[in-house]
């Protein structure tokens, strides 16, 4: 069997990648452009890809291809219908990043609520050293437990986030983007109610026809001026131009994003030209990428290959 890993760089330097060699010849590419895919997989039995697109053209030029392993949960980079037509199995890995994404979500929220950056600089620039009292109250801190916490998309990650928010003492509600979720742990509400009444809104939905551009200006304008919007789900759910506008109009307190419409974030993105830049926290799609999460991901790929071979 020949295995071709197309974008190893996205998985980082982990010794667990060596586990893949037990299934056959392993060829590893750190990064693969769209122009390089066809040639690199032409004799592959198994393709492993995180973000590289595998479409019908690629499949038609990979005569030996039997299995596509997606090093992620989302499979929108694979032309699934065509793979099924050709008898090529496609397997993803679910649940590997639940803990990591939930942790990063609260890292962003608490960073904003506790004004960590501002207080850190207050000490480091020696303002605290010149203070007449032992503390400082310039940026008010509010307790998460006193807040209404809204979740958009209550899958495994959304549910985990809800449980943590509840442990803080927050009142948790959710909006089901599919309309099919009836989780009894939390109250289900309409999107309008969630937007209008939540102090914190955290997005954990997949990107699909229902959720693309789900949060645009007309939704953002419904939020409270003291509310915080967090997206560690998928870019494209929030209209970034509208979010930049709403932040500069100071109609919400802050936003925190780990995902974007285009990744990497273009240098002309409206998010990079916000005047009130202290109201926006951004990280480079890292919520999923904790060391433990990536190890579980590789282990999941190995399980998928073993299931296929057996």
| Nearest Cα to Cα of residue 2 among 51, 59, 43, 50 | 43
Are 92 and 74 within 8 A, CB to CB? Answer: yes
- Within this chain, do residues 122 and 182 fall inside the same structural domain, yes or no? yes
Q: Give how far Cα 199 sits from Cα of 91, 145, 154, 169, 296, Å.
A: 38, 11, 18, 13, 33
79 is catalytic: no
Res 211 pLDDT > 90: yes
Indicate whether 222 and 305 sit together in one domain: no
> In this structure, how many other beta carbons lie within 10 angstroms of the beta carbon of residue 24?
13
Mark whether 263 is an active-site residue. Answer: yes
Same domain, 245 and 107: yes
20, 26, 30, 32: CA torsion to nearest 10: -120
Residue with tokens 């939905």: 205
Residues 274 and 150 in one domain: yes
Q: How many domains does the chain have?
A: 2
Burial-class residue 195 by CB neighbours within 10 Å (0-12, 13-18, 19+). buried
Average pLDDT over residues 143-154: 98
Query: Residue 153: what pLDDT?
Result: 97
Q: Is 237 a residue whose pLDDT tops 90?
A: yes
Same domain, 132 and 185: yes
Active-site choice (40, 204, 279, 285)? 285
Question: Which residue in the block uniquely carries the two structure tokens 């032309």?
Answer: 79
On whether both 85 and 112 belong to a single domain, the answer is no
Whether the per-residue pLDDT at 182 is higher than 90: the answer is no
Catalytic residue status for 136:
no
As a whole number, mean pLDDT of residues 89-94 equals: 98
* Closest-CA residue to 144 (of 193, 107, 196, 104): 107
When pLDDT is averaged across residues 28-39 and rounded to a whole number, the result is: 98
Which one of 234, 279, 294, 296 is the catalytic residue?
234
Domain extent, residue 7, equals 2-94+291-309
CATH number at residue 41: 3.40.50.720
Q: Is the pLDDT of residue 49 over 90?
A: yes
Q: Do 190 and 299 have their domain in common?
A: no
Put residue 263 in one of left, alpha, beta given phi > 0 → left and psi -120 to 50 → alpha: beta
Percentage of residues in the chain with pLDDT exceeding 70? 100
Judge whether residue 19 has pLDDT over 90: yes
Residue 174 has pLDDT above 90, yes or no: yes
Q: 111 and 256 in one domain?
A: yes
Strands, E assignment, 72-211? 89-91, 148-152, 171-175, 187-188, 200-203
42, 189: one domain: no
Instruction: Tell me: pLDDT of 87 over 90.
Output: yes
Annotated active-site residue in 263, 292, 306, 307: 263
Whether the per-residue pLDDT at 60 is higher than 90: the answer is yes
* 231 closest CA partner among 176, 179, 283: 283
Give the pLDDT confidence score for residue 181 in this predicted structure.
86
Q: What is the average pLDDT score of the chain?
A: 97
Q: What is the mean pLDDT of residues 237-259?
A: 98
Residues 174 and 263 in one domain: yes
Mean pLDDT confidence for 40-65: 98
Between these two residues, 183 and 135, which has the higher pLDDT value? 135
Q: pTM for the whole thing? A: 0.94
Contact between residue 204 and residue 154 where contact means Cβ atoms under 8 Å apart: yes
For residues 6 and 119, membership in a common domain is answered with no
Q: Are residues 224 and 127 in the same domain?
A: yes
Which residues are CB-neighbours of 92 under 8 A, at least 6 positions away? 70, 72, 73, 74, 75
d(CA 302, CA 132): 60
Hey, what are 40's tokens? Answer: 């690199």
């Amino acid at each position: 069997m020949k295995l071709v890993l197309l974008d190893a760089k996205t998985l980082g330097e982990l010794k667990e990648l060596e586990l893949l060699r037990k299934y056959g010849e392993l060829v590893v590419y750190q990064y693969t452009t769209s122009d390089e895919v066809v040639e690199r997989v032409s004799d592959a039995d198994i393709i492993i890809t995180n973000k590289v697109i595998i479409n019908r053209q690629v499949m038609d030029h990979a005569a030996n291809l039997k299995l596509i392993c997606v090093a992620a949960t989302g499979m929108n980079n694979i032309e699934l219908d065509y793979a099924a037509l050709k008898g090529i199995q496609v397997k993803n890995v679910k649940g590997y990043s639940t803990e990591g994404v939930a942790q990063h979500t609260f890292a962003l929220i608490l960073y904003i609520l506790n004004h960590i950056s501002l207080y850190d600089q207050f000490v480091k620039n020696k303002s605290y050293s010149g203070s007449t009292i032992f503390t400082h109250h310039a940026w008010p801190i509010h307790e998460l437990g006193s807040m209404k916490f809204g979740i958009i998309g209550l899958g495994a990650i959304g549910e985990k986030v809800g449980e943590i928010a509840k442990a803080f003492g927050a009142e948790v509600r959710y909006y089901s983007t599919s309309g099919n979720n009836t989780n009894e742990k939390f109250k289900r509400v309409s999107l309008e109610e969630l937007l209008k009444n939540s102090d914190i809104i955290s997005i954990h939905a997949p990107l699909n026809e229902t959720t693309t551009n789900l949060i645009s200006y007309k939704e953002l304008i419904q939020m409270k001026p003291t509310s915080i919007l967090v997206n560690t789900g998928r870019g494209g759910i929030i209209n970034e131009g509208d979010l930049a506008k709403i932040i500069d109009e100071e109609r919400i307190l802050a936003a925190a994003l780990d995902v974007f419409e285009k990744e990497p974030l273009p240098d002309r993105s409206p998010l990079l030209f916000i005047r009130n830049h202290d109201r926006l926290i951004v990280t480079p799609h890292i919520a999923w990428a904790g060391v433990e999460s990536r190890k579980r991901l590789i282990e999941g790929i190995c399980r998928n290959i073993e299931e296929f071979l057996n």
